[in-house]
Amino acid sequence: MRELGARVRDARLARLITQSELAERVGVSRPTIAKLEAGEANTSIATFITAMSVLGFERDIDKLMKDDPIGRDIAYSFLPRPGRSGRRS
């Protein structure tokens, strides 16, 4: 979370936006933005996604968890395999 928070901070600073301005646009308090940028785990995902949107990362939001190889492998492991009915005679 710290790394993600640092990325939000870097993006905010690159756009010359203060924490107070970002907080106003996101609809949260300035301390909440400070916590998000510090990577505190209790910051809501909704706040994080809204901040990404305000900072111009709408397209990147869709990429979050789009490719999930671990979840896909787990799901595939439960699929029936051809030629194996699972029944014993």
Under a CB-based contact definition with an 8 Å cutoff, are residues 43 and 32 in contact?
Answer: yes
82 in a structural domain = no
- Which structure tokens are listed for 59? 């397209």
62: domain CATH number? 1.10.260.40
Query: What does the alpha-carbon distance between residue 82 and residue 49 come to, in Å, rounded to a whole number?
Result: 42
Rounded to two decimals, the pTM is: 0.71
- pLDDT of 86 > 80? The answer is no
Domain that holds residue 33: 2-75
85 in a structural domain = no
pLDDT of residue 78: 83
In one-letter notation, the amino acid at residue 14 is: A
15 in a structural domain = yes
Q: Report the half-sphere exposure of 63 (CA within 13 A, side-chain side).
A: 6
89 in a structural domain = no
Q: Report the half-sphere exposure of 33 (CA within 13 A, side-chain side).
A: 25
81 in a structural domain = no
pLDDT in tens, 14-70: 999 999 999 999 999 999 999 999 999 899 989 999 999 999 998 887 777 677 788
